[in-house]
Structure formats: structure tokens, C-alpha cells
Structure 1
Amino acid sequence: MLLRPRQRLFVERSVRALGEHHNTLGVAPTGAGKTIMLSAVTGEMIGDSRAKACVLAHRDELTDQNRTKFARVNPAFTTSVVDAGAKSWQGQVTFAMVPTLARAANLDGMPALDLLVIDEAHHAAADSYRRIIDRALTRNPHCRIFGVTATPNRGDGKGLRPVFSNVADQIRIGELIASGHLVRPRTFVVDVGVQDALAGVRKTADDFDMIQVDAIMNRAPVTEAVITHWKEKAGNRQTVVFCSTVRHAENVTAAFNDTGIPAVMVIGDMGEAERRAALAAYGRGEAQVVVNVAVLTEGWDHPPTSCVVLLRPSSYKSTMIQMVGRGLRTICPDEHPGLVKTDCVVLDFGTSTLLHGSLEQDVDLDGHEGCGEAPSKDCPECGASVPLGVSECPICGYVWQRGSEVIPINDFAMTEVDLLQRSSFRWCDLFGDDAALVASGFNAWGGIFFLDGLWSAIGGLHRQQPRLLAVGERTICLAAADDWLNENETDESAHKSKRWLGQPPTDKQLALLPAECRQDFGLTRYQASALLAFRFNRQAIRALVTQARDGSNRRAA
């Protein structure tokens, strides 16, 4: 398996920071592949030694996911699990559930570790995590601590400075949108006559006072206006709504249903079976809207969601990022056939967008990719070493003043990243019209094809039927095809600078190609390989592309 170029850079910077500081934090939003990256960092740090590592997560599904993906990145390492059902440290890398490991009896059984990895590292300031971290450092003062998170600034205001002294790297949401790994948000700030009142809501230790917010937002005329604007801007989209209180959520859910829009509600004190049933109804499309109160902020994803409605303000940018992030996932055609998603509508009826300005700690949406050492600066508040570009410290939340600079609060103005240049593979324009591009490796091939205004990404393994990878915008499809090759190829087959790629075609290749190709004296061996991948799979490709065009009767955008 190969990492994307940006993932490799993240890993290199993290390993370097661990060597220099003995701890570091990496910031990577949804869509960056943080599990793949933390697995690669772990493998790099252990290397060929007999070192032991532990990867922490706070939920069963994250532990399972981390272990599965780790095995794909590092197939040679042995692994074990510490959770409610098993407590084994036999593997070189152990995947542990925090609530289980943090118990005194289980901590006593933890061996000396050389590396402690913390997934969702914004939790690292919590007492349960600190007990594990402190015990690891007591057993081995040289144990390195590596954390990865999408949202480093905690809602309770606790800084991560006691655990991390620096930030190795930060992948921005704008980079992932520009590279096709997230869809772009289209944000509308809508004042339904309550923004002045919301501006006066007091802050509590955790957030704005939601009882006050409820008194302002939970009124029939406001809810009616919300639904009217929603119908106008997002009426055919699956939507997640964030409310201030349970009573507010109940009334908003009822209002959607009374208007003929099927809606379900998810709140914290629901039974597990009831919550699963509500989310399953939304997942099947039986409900178009899911309304919640601080339940779906983290750890929940339903990629067809292409509208996010904010009916509450947030005093923390991290909370706003988490809420909006629920709608930025791209679509897998296998899981959601016929659905095309190109963007996400964000309807902010509160003041979060006005308060925080954007989804970035640093507004850089051109997708420029740095290389080598990450330029850094020291935070004047906590002293942490952080990336030079950030305007908000990921460790303590300190905000650098931006002078008179105006931060845009509406749509992302995107400049497409040319993945053809960043890819580890050489992409061939088969017919010179930019409508069919193919890259080929030893085990797999990938391609993107344009038909009737729609791009399709197709991936294949040798001697197997091709499969549809993505449908929609060119950038998203190219990202999906490139990721397919990354998943199925290795360094040996990927690097586009290999000398043999530019050599003349073999006689066997020429014999299999059409006559006109034999007269193309500029044809290379690699171009011939790409043409043959297309020629051998032409009927299947045509069927999948036609099926994608004809089946895209449901649009999430």
C-alpha cells in the first residue's frame, strides 16, 4: 500500500518532531486518512527494532478500525488488543480501549512502552488519558507520545500543552477539498431576525448558554423561517440539523414532519436501540432530515448528507468544524449507487460563521503543498512550536491578531490541485482530449472518463472485473482513482520516474495494439500499457460509465 504524497509528508514531519521533542501532535481533518498516517508513523518509529507501541482509542469501533488499517500499512508487525473482551500485550503493537486500560488493575499490567499513539488526541487532557500517559512515562521516561486529531482545541477550554509541546504538521480542510478528498461547503449565513439577540448570549465554561439560545431560537416563527430557507436552498438534500436543547430538537423535528418532510431525532438520553433505529431510518433514506443535540458532532458519518443546518451558535471553532464536517464526505458508488454529490450546503442560522470566519485555522484554499521542514513559530501563550501559517494555536487556542485582514465567510474559492503532478503514478491522456486518463501499475489500473457532463472513476485489478469508484467532479474522481492505485500498488510499481516507463513498447505490446499505434514512433512502453489496460477493459468501462450517467438520477448537489 502507498501513501498519498501529502500523507508521506505528514509522516516525515511527525517522525522528525518525535525525534526532536519526544512528543508531537498532528492535525488532520476528516478525509485526510489519519488512521493510515498514524499507522505509518508507528511503523517508522518501530522499524526493525523490538520496540513496543500502544495505540489508544476511546471507542470499540475505532480500535477495530485502527488495527485493521495498521495491518494493511504494516503487515509484518504482530498486534494484540486490550479491551473489555481481551487484555493481551503479546503483539509488538497493542490497540487499547482507553476506558478499559485506564483502570488501575489493567494499568498495572501495561509493559514499558517505547511509543504511545493517541487517536482523537483532543481527549488527551482528560483524566483517564493522563493516567495512561503518566504511567507510560513512569515505566519508560523515554517513551515518545504521538497524537493525531482533527480538532485539537477542546470544548472545555483545557489545553493540550501538558501532553504536547509542539505540532508537527497540519493538513487543512482546504487542501482536502482542493485534492478531491472532501466536497466543498457552500455556506449561507441566514439572519431570521435573531442575530442581534444571539450576539448577547452569555458564555458558560463549556459553550454559549444553550438555555438562552433556546429562548431565542425555539419559537414557531423562527422554525418556520428556517424550513422555508431550507426548502429554497437544500430541499432535496439529506440534512443534519444541530439544535440547542432537547425541547428545541423536538419542536424542529415536529415542524419538519408537519411540513411533509420525514425527520427523525437523536438525543443523548435515548436508548441505544431507539438511537440506532432513528439513524438507520435516515441511513436508508426513509427520513430526509436527522435532528440532534450535540450527539452527531463527532464520530458519525453518513456520506450522502449534503446539507448541514446550524440552529445553535458555537463559541469554539472546533465544534463548528465538527458539525460542518458531517456533510463533507465524498460518496462511494458501491455503497450509494446512483447518487452524485459535488458540494455541501451549510445553512448557519446562528452566529458561528460570523464569529469564527472559516473552517480553517489558517485560510489557505489554493491547495499549495509545502515540502521538507514545516516552517514553525512559538506560541506566546503556551510556548508550543506550531506551523507558521496557523492563526489559532492548536495546543492552547491562542489567536494571533490578523490586523485588518477580512476573513471570507461564504463559499470556498477553490483552485484545483493538479493531482496529475502530485500522483505517484504517470497518468496518460489516451486520446489527447482530456476525456480519458489512465494510469497503470503491476497489479492494478485506474482511470477517469468524461461522458455527457459527468466524470466517472474506474478501477481494476488484472484479470478481474473493473469497478466504479466515484462519480461527479473531475477532481473527486481523479482522487478516487489515484487512491485505488495507492491501495493496490507498492513503491516498486508506482514511481513515475522509473527509466523503463519511457522506453519503446515491446513487440508483444505492439502486436496487441491497433495498427495506428504501431505508426506512433513516440509511443512509450508505459503509454502502451495504459492503452492496453483500456483496450482489454473497454466494454466493461463503457458499461460502467454509461451506467453512472444513466443511474445518476439522484443528486446530492
Structure 2
Amino acid sequence: MNIVYKKIYLKSVMWMIQLRDYQNELIDGIYQSISKGNKRIMVQSPAGSGKSITMSEVARRATDKGNRVLFVVHRRELVNQIKETFIANSVDMNLCHVGMVQTINNRVKKGSEPKPTIILVDEAHHSLAKTYLNIFEHFSDAYVIGFTATPWRMSNKGFTDVFQDLILGKTVRWLIDNNRLAPFKYYSVNLMDSDILTHNSTGDFSNDSITKAMQKTIYGDVIKHYKKFAEGKKTIVYTHNVESSINVAERFNKEGYKALQVDGKTPKAQRELAMELFRKGEINILVNAELYGEGVDVPDCQCVILLRPTESLTLFIQQTMRSMRYQPNKQAIIIDHVGNWYRHGLPDSEHDWQTYFEGTKKKGKSNDAIPIKECPECFSVIESAYTICPECGFEFPKEEQQDYELMENAELEEVTEDKVIQLNLKTAEECESVEELYQLAKDKGYKPGWAYVQAKRLGMLG
């Protein structure tokens, strides 16, 4: 064992991290699933709910019994972070190997990776990548327990090819109500009150107009709305490409704010320094492209600004909830300039994770059917939208991109759950009675005559 880790381990061996009630519930769920004969189990728990601590407890109990644990992560920055948590919880690191998936995969090929009893997988929605599957297949007798906030695949194919069971954690709303995550205010463009969205013959928003409004458009002036909604708050900005991140950082600095820009090509030491300065408060705004999605723990980040449209529910949740790590009296601010809430709802909107886990026959998005890819240089597993590998700096071949349209005169406003409900209300065709049509008209804010016309059109009035 590394001498530094050994000292920390010996110092902490007499105590363990105290788990919260909902974390113990997850562990109980894992053991109950194992007792039913399941060996490959996925655990869902929201971003910021302390999955690393929960995993450390699984590892501690395993190593206490002399079992070997293999912990698989997909980013180099996470390795030491996980090790520190495991050591603090008295995991026997002589029986636990924490490593990047590509490193472990190479060790497996060379026959130098000891056989584990349990394989723990961080960000397990990546686990259908070939590098993960190679490890699982090689250690076919091992229990595989994968943790993720989002058991979701854009292809809608689910995870049952790898996992047998899904353990569901608490909802984001429960964690907020119980002071485990920070409450938030969400600001974005409200296209429902504009002329951009048009209605079809049934009174519902036209899918074509929604698609057109959401493609390649950034609404509202970034600096203006930061001053209006989040002045002085520590903020991470997510942009759609490197050039945009540079421009946005320059604008903040010209306005007198302390901002730094980083991207996948920024040297690792420089990226770490930027994050350290941000954590210390020496800079207030960190503008990035292709970084700081999964696994970044910055509890005092108070605000995120979204300048990147995404069809990925996983990416949306990881980015928006980066500001929602709990601190007393903290209220997170999310400023969405690209209308991502039209695609995904709000961070606390509920999702049918069980159905996502099982998969559906519904055809997935053709423009991003595979949400991850492997770098051909270092074999890191990264989001498919990356153009530069954050691990080794490899530049992926550039695809032709359309320019983003800027509508800086657009005004952003607070988005609450009632707007999400209004957007997702069922159509007239989905109503099974005249009463449901009149309720739908009320929910949509339409006059009762709309329900009468729809009922007559659908043949409900005889």
C-alpha cells in the first residue's frame, strides 16, 4: 500500500463514516436483491446523494470479510477522490483496487488483475461500453454492482443485457425536502408565451415548431442575466464548444468578474489549478467546454449557466445539479439559455427509471444513439459529444457544425413545475371522456368551448 494511504488508513481504521438513513436503505436493497439470486445489480440514486460513501460501505463490509473488491471509474480525476473516501471509511485497501476502466481492462488482458469477489462500478450508465463488458466477462463469477443517478440510454435499449435488477433511491424532491440537496430556482426562456411556438389543429404545440425553436439557439444575454439572477455567486458555465467557452470567459472578465476558461485540451495541471482557485473563491466563474460533468464535487458551487443544448437526460441532470450540493441556507441558481427544460423538465422532475432500465421498443434519438465513446489514443470512456479527450488531449475529427443563432434580446424568467406540467399535458386524442377534455382545457388555460369542439371532432358527443 502507498505509504501516504497506509498512514491515513491506520489513522482511520478505528472509525467508520456514518451513513444516512437512505444510504443504508440502498445497501439493504442490494443485499435483498443478492438474496434473491441476483449477481448483477444497478443502483439508482440522485446526483449529490453521496453514492461514493454508499459504495465505500459496500466495499468496507466486503473487505472486512476478506473479499477482494475491484472499483471501476471512467475518469482519472476520480481515482484519488474515491480512494480518499474508501480510506476514510476504513476499507482495507490491500484488498481493494480502484482504477480507471481502460487501465483495469489492460491489466485483465495481461493477466495481472487479481480476481475480485465484487466489482463496483461508478457512473454505471457507461457500463455497456466494450471495455466494461470485457472486465465483467473475464470475472464472470464476481458480483457486479453499478451506481448511477441516471439509468437511461438515449437508444431506449435499457440495461438488462448486463444487469438483472434495479435498486431505486430517494427522489430529488425528497432529498431537497429533507435537507440533503439544496433547493433551486430555475430561469430560462418561456417559449410557450412567445410567438415562436405554434399550435396545431388540436390546440397543442406543434412538434415542428418546438424542434425548430430548440435547435442551435441561445436565448438571452449571458452577462445581463447573471447580474439579474446570480450576481456574485460561484458559477460553472457549460458551453457548446471551446471557442464559445473562450468568448464567454473574456466577456465576464471584461465586465470585472474573475473568470477562468478550461476545456478538454487544457493541461491536466492547469485544469486542477483552475478548480482549486474556484474552490478557494479566488475566481468566481469557471467557464468550460466538455468538462465538469460527472464526478466533480464542488459543494459551494451556487450557480450553473447552460449554454449547451443537449438531448442527453444524463448530461442535463449532471450539469444542472452541480449547483445543488447541500449547504445550510444555500439556494442553487440554474440559468438555462438553451431551453433544456423543454426537453427534460426540471432537476426534481420525476422519471420512470424502472422503465428506462428495462428499455422500451420506442426508437431512440438517431442523432445521438450512443451517448459515450472511447478515445482511440488512451481508451478513456467519455461523453460522445466531446471533441477533445479530457484525459490525453486527443482531438476527434471535426464534424460540420451549424452556427448557433443568438437571440440576446430574449428575456429569461423563472420556470416552475406548473410550466413543465403544462408543456407535458396530454393531447385531446389521449382523453377518454368529455369530462377529461374539459379538465384538459382548464389545465391548459383554454376556454370551455375548446373542449366542446374537440369532443365533437372526436365523436364523443354522438
| Matching residue within 356, 367, 385 for 1:393 | 356
Distance in structure 1 (CA, Å) of the matches to 2:152 and 2:190: 28
Contact 1:187 1:410 in 2 (8 A): no
Describe the SS at the equivalent of 2:323.
coil
Within the candidate set 293, 307, 316, 2:289 is matched to 293
Say whether residues 1:121 and 2:121 are aligned partners: no
- Whether 2:31 is the aligned partner of 1:35: answer no
In the TM superposition, residue 46 of structure 1 has moved relative to its aligned partner by 6.7
Q: CA deviation at 1:101?
A: 1.4
SS at match of 2:356: coil
Structure 1 residue 58, shift from structure 2 partner: 3.0
Per-residue deviation, 1:103: 0.8
Q: How does 1:182-193 map to 2 (within 5 A)?
A: 182-190=181-189
Which of 253, 258, 265 pairs up with 1:257? 253
Q: CA–CA distance in 1 between the matches of 2:79 and 2:270?
A: 24
Q: Which sections of structure 1, spanning at least 5 residues, go unmatched? A: 81-90, 203-207, 332-339, 364-388, 400-405, 412-557
Contact kept in structure 1, 2:62 and 2:68, CA below 8 Å: no
Q: Tell me which of 299, 305, 309 is aligned to 2:305.
A: 309
Partner of 2:372: none
Q: Is the 8 A contact 1:234 1:345 kept in 2?
A: yes
Distance in 2 (alpha carbons) for counterparts of 1:13 and 1:237? 38
Correspondence 1:248 to 2:238: no
Describe the superposition over 1:478-509 as per-residue Cα deviations: whole angstroms up to 9, x where unpaired: xxxxxxxxxxxxxxxxxxxxxxxxxxxxxxxx
Does the residue aligned with 2:86 lie in a helix, a strand or coil?
helix
Q: Is the 8 A contact 1:306 1:341 kept in 2?
A: no
8 Å Cα contact 2:249/2:287 also seen in 1: yes
Asked whether 1:79 is paired with 2:82, we answer: no
Structure 2 Cα separation of the partners of residues 242 and 278 of structure 1: 15
Match of 1:236 among 215, 229, 232: 232
Task: State the match for 2:41 in structure 1.
Answer: 24
Distance of aligned partners of 1:64 and 1:263 in 2 relative to their CA distance in 1, 3 Å threshold: closer
Q: Deviations over 1:300-333 (max 9, x none)?
A: 23322211111222212211111112111234xx
Aligned to 1:94: 97
Post-superposition offset of 1:10: 0.9
Normalising by structure 2, we get a TM-score of: 0.64
SS at match of 1:326: helix
1:154 shift after superposition: 4.7
Q: Sequence identity of aligned pairs in percent?
A: 25
Is the alpha carbon distance of 1:102 and 1:233 closer, same or farther for their aligned partners in structure 2, counting shifts above 3 Å? same
Question: In the superposition, relative to structure 1, how do residues 252 and 302 fare at CA in structure 2: closer, same or farther (>3 Å)?
Answer: same
Post-superposition shift, 1:106? 5.2
Q: 2:211 aligns with which of 200, 208, 219?
A: 200
Q: Contact between 1:55 and 1:116, CA under 8 Å: does it hold in 2?
A: yes
CA deviation after TM superposition for structure 1 residue 348, in Å: 1.2
Offset, 1:147: 0.7
Residue type at the aligned position of 2:189: V
Q: Which is bigger in relative contact order (C-alpha 8 A, separation at least 6)?
A: 2
Q: Counterpart of 2:286 in structure 1: which amino acid?
A: V
Q: Secondary structure at the match of 1:282?
A: helix
1:321 is aligned, of 270, 295, 317, to 317
2:350 to 355, 362, 369: 362
- One-letter amino acid of the counterpart of residue 49, structure 2: A
Per-residue CA deviation, residues 256-293 of structure 1 (Å, 9 max, x unaligned), is: 22222232211111222333343344333333222112
- TM normalised by structure 1 equals 0.54
Cα separation, partners in 2 of 1:107 and 1:286, compared to 1, 3 Å: same
Q: Distance in 2 between matches of 1:359 and 1:157?
A: 20
Partner of residue 4, structure 1: 20
Q: Quick one: structure 1 residues 270 and 231, their matched pair in 2 at CA, closer, same or farther if it must change by over 3 Å? A: same
Query: Aligned pair in 2 of structure 1 residues 64, 301: CA closer, same or farther (>3 Å)?
Result: closer
The offset of 1:409, in angstroms, is: 5.1
8 Å contact 1:357–1:409 — kept in the other structure? no
Per-residue deviation, residues 425-445 of structure 1 (Å, max 9, x unmatched): xxxxxxxxxxxxxxxxxxxxx
The C-alpha deviation readout for 1:195-228, integer Å capped at 9, x for no partner, is 76994359xxxxx9xxx62xx43xxxx66x2321
Contact 1:188–1:410, Cα closer than 8 Å, also in 2:
no
Q: For the residues of structure 1 that align with 2:81 and 2:209, how far apart are their CA atoms?
A: 40
For 1:344, the equivalent position in structure 2 comes to 332
Do the aligned partners of 1:164 and 1:395 also contact (CA within 8 Å) in 2?
no
1:227 alignment partner in structure 2: 223
SS at match of 1:64: helix
2:158 and 2:356 in contact (8 A); partners too: no
Over alpha carbons, which structure has the higher Rg?
Answer: 1
Is the Cα–Cα contact under 8 Å of residues 27 and 169 in structure 1 kept in the other structure? yes
Deviations 1:330-380 (A, max 9, x none): 34xxxxxxxx752111111112112211224627xxxxxxxxxxxxxxxxx
Contact 2:41 2:163 in 1 (8 A): yes
Q: Is the 8 A contact 2:78 2:295 kept in 1?
A: no
Alignment partner, residue 176 of structure 1: 175
Matched, 1:13 2:29: yes
Change (3 A) 1:267 1:191: farther
Note closer, same or farther for the CA distance 1:185–1:168 as it changes in structure 2 (3 Å cut): same
Moved more, 153-162 or 250-259: 153-162
User: In the alignment, residue 255 of structure 2 is paired with which amino acid?
Assistant: T
Question: What is the identity, as a one-letter code, of the residue corresponding to 1:353?
Answer: W
How far, CA to CA, are the matches of 1:198 and 1:245 in structure 2?
25
| Gap change, CA 1:232 and 1:28, over 3 Å in 2 | same
8 A contact 1:107–1:135 mirrored in 2: no
For 1:419, the equivalent position in structure 2 comes to: none
Question: Quick check: 1:56–1:95 contact (8 Å CA) kept in 2?
Answer: yes
1:17 partner letter: S
State the shift of 1:72 in Å: 4.5
Judge conservation of contact 1:392–1:398 (CA < 8 Å) in 2. no
Which consecutive unaligned segments of at least 5 residues does structure 2 have? 1-15, 198-207, 363-415, 422-462
Partner of 1:109: 112
Q: What CA distance in whole angstroms lies between the structure 1 residues aligned with 2:85 and 2:269? A: 29
Give distance in 2, aligned partners of 1:409 and 1:343.
20
- For 1:152, the aligned partner's letter is P
For residues 223-266 of structure 1, the C-alpha deviation after alignment (integer angstroms, 9 at most, x for no partner) is: 6x232122111112111111112222222222222222232211
Structure 2 CA distance for partners of 1:226 and 1:171, relative to 1, 3 Å: same
